[in-house]
Structure 1
Amino acid sequence: MDVGPALAAVRAAPTLLEAMREARVLATVTVGDPGGDTLSVLRSAARTSDPLTAIAAVHALGASGHPSAGRVLAELLAGDRRHVAQHAVDALRHAPLVHSALPVLVRRCQDGGFTGMLAQHTLEQWAKDEPEAVRAPLVGALSTSVETAVRARLVETLGLVAGGASTQALLDLAGDDHEALPVRAAALAALGDGPAADRGAEPLLVALTRSVGPLAQTARLALHDLCPAPTVSTPGGLTVAQVFLHSDIDGRLHHSGQGDTGGIATLLVHLGDALLRQQPHIGRVITISGGSPDPAQFPLVRHRSPDWPMPASELLTAGHHYARVPLTGASTGISRGWPARVSARRGIRRVLRAAGHVDAIHLRMADVGSMAAAEVAVDLGIPVVLTLAPDPQALIDARDTAGTLTRSGFGEADLVEHLWFRDRLLLDLTERADHLVLFPRPQVERDLRRYLALDLSTHPERATVVGEGVDVSAIDRTVREVRDESGRGLATSAALRAVDDLLATLPADRRSLPVAVSVGRLNAVKGMATLVRAWADDADLHDRCNLLLVGGDLEHPTDEEAAELARIDAVVPRHEAARRGLLLAGHRPNATTIAWLAALQQRRAGTGAPPGIYVSASLKEEFGIAILEAMAVGLVVVAPAGGGPATYVADGETGILTDTSTPYAVAAATHAALDLAVAPGADARAREAQHMVRTRFGIDTMAVSLAEVYQRIAAPRRPGSTGTSGSSSTTEGPTQPDVMEGAS
């Protein structure tokens, strides 16, 4: 196809997603060495008023690889259309170095943020071929910059440039007692891991590890990176790593519902434990999150006598390990974590190297953690499993259909949400993954073609459909303790006192009303503000039930949490909330939340309130762990009609499926769920929901399916193996294990 028709297809595409798919075709046809006419056409298209066409042309210029295309992109950096300039920063990564663009890219690095990450990535790529050319403007910028955060970003970028001059500059900065601590820390980290790392830094690192100052931990990790302890034998069975950097994950889920610590954190904890119980045997699970690393996992090599053994990482022992990655940047939230790419990559590589042989790494979303982990996996030769969910594609499509995201407004929305980049990142991760895991959806293959233009019919062995799971044994135990005081543990007793105290803050005349509860992160996509609007604006619904929201950090909210709280406060001011029947509980440990759900499913002593219900007003829900947990305790649920919930919520029986894009629809569904919760046969329907969760979506059922996936992709790479990757399946679609058929 010629560039003209390909460009016309972008312009004529009837939907945003189709235009983005045609843009990928446009980039493909320009690969190589296009002539002057092609460059002229693309240059003109990049200046058009249609944001989608302009962005598509920018990336086609980058894909061409032509030196003249790089110069056109450099011109676009200075334009007043910020969305075009931002994409030009990214597209330049695929072009040969353009000297006129270097000062602009360095300034973008200094500015930081998402665009700063893109600029740093481009400079890193260029430095592989021309390190001197990239180093000079970075050193020059350091000589004139005084702001600490700016200097730290420049130093981090300098660490991506190989050569003795880079190493010496880093040594000077790291050893300068008058330099700001974040700048010295950035230099130390780069001296331990990266193109500028050098054994000549060892004396400085050793000296700082022996200090008691704030740099000791950074120097210790850098020394481990520079001189890692030798890998000893690893325990039997497979080793699987799973990554989610946007929370500090611990085995007891103390941070559940805080910031971006949502259902995925709960899943990884329970899944990691369940995988260790499975056959094929899995000996180790390493869950990698953000936070302060455990020194025992990263021992230092010291000169020892023959009778004093060399230290070994605790990660080399069998079991479920929680390894943490220290991240740079003001926020590690999903939407604002992009500047942490380099520190994320460095920390993930540290964990995986310390762990010795790793058979598979499982990635679950198009975020900075998956981006960094995929790079490390390539370097270390570790097979990648990707849970593929059409995010942000499904959300783009829904907003396009609703008219809330348009062609004309795409550029401004993309500047904030990075929609184009996240789309491309997910597609790139999909292409590079050794195996794909798909969520159950009513029309999974259709949705893959619609949202991702992905057709798996020719290679069905590449994908397996696996439903997520919940720890049904732990949930059942909590439900029993809630119902039977004689066998109640201390944790459940404390949880029940807490929920009773919370309900006691309601006015006396509202305490006999049922409670509609929603659990999740305070993020716009979870629809908490939409739910509050639905409840508050419908007078009958407001008079019929109270509303309890569990999740979010109410005292120290992230930017996303603060924005959602502001939207809630605009409907029901915080100081009036309890009086009007709205309870904001903030984040609670997962075990506490389960106890609350179980308590609300039955009448609480002294209130006489009918059973409560669970409401998810998420704009999209790929699967819905919290919804499953609510069903596991017997609550009637309201859930989005699209995505995963439609595969397990029996509409009108165990719950209500609805359009969650409007408060009106959410209110109507909530009325219907309240009716269903007290209709004849409610107990039988609750038992049906609980049985469905136990038999189809227990965490062990999920673990069985994933263990088979890990075994399949690891077999060809393990010593002495004669296995082959993939499957000999001849089915016409992705593998559908028993979890989809309701088998235990």
Structure 2
Amino acid sequence: MTISATTTTTHPADAVARLRALGPGASPDRLDDVRRAFHPSFAGPALIEYAGVRPALPDPDSALAALRALARAQVTPAPAEVLAAIPETGDELIDSLATAVAADVFGDAVAAHGSEAAAAAIAAASPRRRVLLLDLAERHALRCFAVADVIADLDRDRGHRHAALRYLSQCAGDPAAAEAIASARESTDDPYERVLASICLARLADVPDGAPLWTAPPPARPGLTVAQSMLLGSFDHPGAGASGGLTVLLRHLGHALPRRPGIARVVTLTLLGRDRLTERPALAEADGTGHVVLRLPVDAPGAPAQIDLSRHRAAITFLARQLLWLSGCTPDVVHVRYSDDGSAAIAQAARALGARTVFTLTADPHRSLAERYAAGPADPVAARFDLHRMYTADRLVATADTLLGLPGRPGGELPGYFPRLRGREPESVAEGIALLPRVPTAEARQQRLAESLFAPSPGLPRLDDAARGLPVILSVGRLHPVKQQDLLVEAWLTRGLHRHAALVLVGGDPAAPTAEETSVLDRVLALSEQHPEAAGRLAVLPALGNDDVRLLEHGLTRWLPAPTPHLYVCPSRKEEFGIAVLEAMDAGLLVLGPRRGGLGHYVEHGRNGMLADTATLSRFADGLTAFVRAAAGDPVRARAAAAAGRATVARRFGIDRVAGRFADVYQHSVATPRTVQP
């Protein structure tokens, strides 16, 4: 049951790696070392979880950490012990995180102690946990509650009603269950509840009924069905909200993978908020290329923020399991890429369907924790969530059939952050992009996009005619503190770089911004107002579709000529791979990106781009200044570096080449005897 096993040598300078190497019985010196390295709001729960330290006070975070410690124990607890360990704090986030952990450990307990012990534990548990108990019973096919009792409580509250419908959907053969679900569907105008009830009724029938809501065409040829998940932000609007480069990658893989031998179709799982359910006549959308987008309804206005996914985990697991089956898209292999409860939910659904799971493991969030939670004040909510993500990543590592890692720095960071990979070395597989042809395409559209940088826009700055002839520094991405667009603007302004280059930011949804988007955009606009001398040299555009971003990048040189190459800057605190950077390189822009992360795998400093330290304003401003001055001082060399960047992408990162590598991984995962228990 335990997440952990063998240990690995860690980097002595990294406090997170030293924390991860702890275990019960660690020496006082090692415990004190970790205490000194982190703020108490992080160190306290971390030491309870990793080293078995007894909490000084019975506070909610300590109780949550003790539950995670139970998940890491060498001996699997009994089902009743799991339920007794769940804290009830009244804090919605803590309680939802605890519920997610409890669902994991309860599954281990069922496997170790049997269904009879699990059913007895559920029957004896406090009725205050009724929503969790209903979901645990449904997940493990336990008939712990009388149908009549569940129906009698349908109107208790919204969360309870949804859990009750999910539970009733397994009660095939009981007419009362079907009648109650049908009545719930017909008596509500709520779009989420109507869809949920429809899915539950179809499950009760035990035969996919071909409903237009979820029917997908069968694949055109034999081969594997591959599912991939993208549950953050909008799959239709990369760069808005929480969606970004991964959305672009998965869309291109969805088209490219079915062209590979042995792959019949790709199903991309994404979330659809209840407010948009009425806009879409179907949850399954096929585009004729072998790619199906399957939208899982979620009881939230839009796709939840990552920190809120634990609240929806049980529902996501249930709906992924049912809709993949109902749509005829039962997968052979499922690939998840984030260390969060969304990925955990999809992986759990995959195992229930008998699919193999692939997990792309990254150093995020571990890499930045030592800085974020040093001795100074810490945000307890952020610390709580980061500890949970570390736990979730370990669970995904423990249960995945195949582990992948993104190419990164020599020697890799993963062994230090995941000292219990159980002797498995993740295979390194690069991501990629669709290559655009060298000959000009959609020239009229390119010109319109280039000219849009000068078109006045209420509330957002644009370039003026005095900026024509200047090289453009372009930066594309979702507006988020980790992307640090405000740091880029501040460095550009304070170093006087606005006299030498215009700056264009693309990203975000000003019409319906998230809290993170509002924060970054307000900071950018405030900086702009503080420097009126730079007016007309900064343009901020909302997120564009990926096709338009590519056309804008390719059109800059053609329609906005300058004496030096146009530039692309990724100011992120870290970038695990950088799809947007690859796209800029493919367009012939000279790129600058962060040293931290995986860009060093393909950006060779000084040869095909440049790397900079983005950890502080002063360090980044130094790197940005050197970058702009180098391009202006030696345009011939700068153009040669940009051409080398384009050649790097063409040689190594075209989507067809990348899809071939992923296809090999998926086929090997399915063909290899399973060593991880589902």
Residue of 153, 168, 177 corresponding to 1:167: 177
Per the alignment, residue 470 of structure 2 pairs with 513
Q: Provide the C-alpha distance between the structure 1 equivalents of 2:185 and 2:222, rounded to a whole number of angstroms.
A: 43
Residue range with higher mean Cα deviation, 359-368 or 424-433 = 359-368
- Aligned to 1:681, the other structure's residue is in SS state helix
The residue aligned with 1:132 is: 145
Q: Are the counterparts in 2 of residues 550 and 585 from structure 1 also a CA contact under 8 Å?
A: yes
- Using the TM superposition, name which of 388-397 and 336-345 deviates more: 336-345
What CA deviation, in whole Å up to 9, does each residue of 1:551-610 have, x standing for no partner?
1111221233223223323433599798353211111121221222234356725xx564
Decide which of 565, 580, 584 is 1:630's aligned counterpart. 584
Change (3 A) 1:411 1:120: farther
Q: Return the structure number with greater helix share.
A: 1
Separation in 1 of the partners of 2:323 and 2:79?
39
Kindly indicate whether the alpha-carbon contact (under 8 Å) linking 1:294 and 1:323 is maintained by their aligned counterparts in 2: no
Deviates more, 1:333-342 or 1:644-653: 333-342
Which protein, 1 or 2, shows the higher relative CO under an 8 Å CA cutoff with sep ≥ 6?
A: 2
**Corresponding pairs, count:** 617
Residue from 201, 215, 232 that aligns with 1:246: 232
Shift of 1:242: 1.8
Query: Separation in 2 of the partners of 1:326 and 1:669?
Result: 45
Aligned to 1:260: 242
**Cα distance, 1:444 vs. partner?**
4.9
Q: Secondary structure at the match of 1:198?
A: helix
Q: Residue 713 in 1 paired to residue 666 in 2? A: no
The CA deviation string for residues 104-131 of structure 1, in whole angstroms up to 9 with x for no partner, is: 546xx7xxxxxxxxx5897658996673
On the 8 A contact 1:127/1:133 being kept in 2, the answer is no
Check if 1:453 corresponds to 2:419.
yes
Asked whether the 8 Å contact 2:568–2:592 carries over to 1, the reply is yes
2:479–2:516 CA contact under 8 A, matched in 1: yes
Deviation at 1:46, TM superposition (A): 5.7
Question: In structure 2, what is the Cα distance between the partners aligned to 1:603 and 1:187?
Answer: 51
Does residue 440 of structure 1 match 2:451?
A: no
Kept in 1, the 8 Å contact 2:151–2:180? The answer is no
Q: 1:324 pairs with 272, 275, 295, which one? A: 295
Change (3 A) 1:663 1:235: same
Answer yes or no: is 1:468 the counterpart of 2:431.
yes
User: Is the alpha carbon distance of 1:600 and 1:160 closer, same or farther for their aligned partners in structure 2, counting shifts above 3 Å?
Assistant: same
Q: Which runs of 5+ in 2 are unaligned?
A: 6-21, 107-117
Question: Residue 586 of structure 2 contacts residue 649 of structure 2 at CA under 8 Å; is this kept in 1?
Answer: yes
Distance 1:381 1:560, change over 3 A: same
Structure 1 residue 647: Cα displacement: 1.5
**Aligned-pair distance for 1:286?**
2.4
| Aligned equivalents of 1:568, 1:645: Cα separation in 2 | 25
CA–CA distance in structure 1, aligned partners of residues 292 and 96 of structure 2? 39
Deviation per residue, 1:193-230 (Å, 9 max, x gap): 6xxx6349x9xx99xx9xxxxxxxxx964xx7xxx99x
- Alpha-carbon contact 2:553-2:587 (below 8 Å) kept: yes
Could you say what secondary structure the match of 2:167 adopts?
coil
Structure 2 contact 397–421 (Cα < 8 Å) conserved:
no
2:264 maps to which of 283, 292, 315: 283
Indicate if the aligned counterparts of 1:260 and 1:334 stay in contact, CA closer than 8 A.
Answer: yes
Which residue matches 1:57? 66
Distance 1:4 1:337, change over 3 A: closer
Aligned with residue 365 of structure 1, among 330, 338, 343:
338
Contact between 1:514 and 1:545, CA under 8 Å: does it hold in 2? Answer: yes
Given that 1:386 and 1:430 are in contact with CA atoms closer than 8 Å, whether structure 2 keeps it comes out as: yes
Distance 1:271 1:175, change over 3 A: closer
Go from structure 1 to structure 2 and tell me whether the alpha carbon gap of 1:189 and 1:367 turns closer, same or farther (over 3 Å shift): farther
- Residue 17 (structure 2) pairs with residue 5 (structure 1): no
In structure 1, how many angstroms separate the alpha carbons of the residues matched to 2:269 and 2:392?
A: 20
1:213-270 deviations in Å (ceiling 9; x for gaps): xxxxxx964xx7xxx99x97872233322221335546xxxx2312223111111122
> Which deviates the most, 236-245 or 514-523?
236-245
TM-score, normalising length: structure 2:
0.77
Question: How far 1:85 sits from its partner (Å)?
Answer: 6.0
Preserved contact between residue 173 and residue 184 of structure 1 (Cα < 8 Å): no
> Aligned pair in 2 of structure 1 residues 54, 5: CA closer, same or farther (>3 Å)?
farther
Report the counterpart of residue 58 of structure 2 in structure 1. Answer: 47
Letter in 1 for 2:382: A
Matches within 5 A, 1:152-301: 152-162=158-168, 167=177, 170-171=180-181, 174=184, 177=187, 179=188, 181=190, 184-185=193-194, 188-189=197-198, 191-192=200-201, 198-199=204-205, 221=213, 235-249=221-235, 255-278=237-260, 280-291=261-272
Letter matched to residue 433 of structure 2: V
Q: Give the match for residue 369 of structure 2.
A: 396
Amino acid at match of 1:77: E
Query: Could you say which residue in structure 2 is the equivalent of 1:413?
Result: 382
User: Contact (CA 8 Å) 2:478, 2:507: kept in 1 or not?
Assistant: yes
The alpha-carbon distance between structure 1 residues 261 and 502, as it changes in their structure 2 partners (threshold 3 A), is farther
Q: Do residues 582 (structure 1) and 529 (structure 2) align?
A: no
2:96–2:311 CA contact under 8 A, matched in 1: no
1:116 matched residue in structure 2: none
For 1:406-425, what per-residue CA distance to the aligned partner results, in whole angstroms no more than 9, with x for missing partners? 6x63633235xx21222222
Post-superposition Cα deviations, 1:417-455, rounded to whole Å, max 9, x if no partner, equal: x2122222222112211212211111354x111222245
In structure 2, relative to structure 1, the CA distance for the partners of 1:707 and 1:180 (3 Å cut) is: closer
Q: How has the CA–CA distance of structure 1 residues 434 and 506 changed in structure 2, closer, same or farther, with 3 Å as cutoff?
A: same
Q: Percent identical across equivalent pairs?
A: 28
Q: Is contact 2:454–2:463 with CA below 8 Å preserved after alignment?
A: no
Give the Cα separation in 2 of the matches to 1:384 and 1:4: 30
**Structure 1 residues 440 and 186: CA distance shift in structure 2, 3 A:** same
Change (3 A) 1:512 1:434: same
Contact between 1:389 and 1:438, CA under 8 Å: does it hold in 2?
yes
What is the SS of the residue equivalent to 1:288? strand
Equivalent in the alignment of 2:18: none
- The alpha-carbon deviation at position 48 of structure 1 amounts to 6.8
Distance 2:295 2:312 in 1: 14
2:608 corresponds in structure 1 to 654
Paired amino acid for 2:378? G
Looking at structure 2, the residues matched to 66 and 725 of structure 1 have their Cα atoms a distance apart, in angstroms, of 26
Deviation digits for residues 10-31 of structure 1 (CA, Å, limit 9, x no counterpart): 665365699888656557xxxx
| Closer, same or farther: CA 187–378 of 1 in aligned 2, 3 Å | closer
Amino acid paired to 2:380:
G
Q: 1:600 to 1:571 in 2, by over 3 A?
A: same
Q: Partners in 1 of 2:83 and 2:662 — Cα distance?
A: 47
* Counterpart AA for 2:161: V
Contact 1:259 1:558 in 2 (8 A): yes
Q: Distance in 2 between matches of 1:99 and 1:576?
A: 68
Q: Secondary structure at the match of 1:420?
A: helix
CA distance, structure 1, for counterparts of residue 94 and residue 231 of structure 2: 29
The TM-score with structure 1 as length reference comes to: 0.71
Q: What are structure 1's unaligned runs of at least 5 residues? A: 28-40, 110-118, 146-150, 210-218, 299-312, 482-486, 717-723, 727-744
Query: 2:115 is matched with which residue?
Result: none
SS of residue in 2 equivalent to 1:611: coil
Change (3 A) 1:170 1:666: farther
Task: Quote how far apart the aligned CAs of 1:86 are.
Answer: 6.2
Cα offset for 1:465? 0.9
**1:377 is matched by which residue type in structure 2?**
A
Q: Does the CA contact (< 8 Å) of 1:439 and 1:465 recur in 2? A: yes
Tell me, in whole angstroms, the C-alpha distance in 1 between the residues paired with 2:219 and 2:498.
Answer: 62
Letter in 1 for 2:292: H
Q: How does 1:415-434 map to 2 (within 5 A)?
A: 415=384, 418-434=385-401
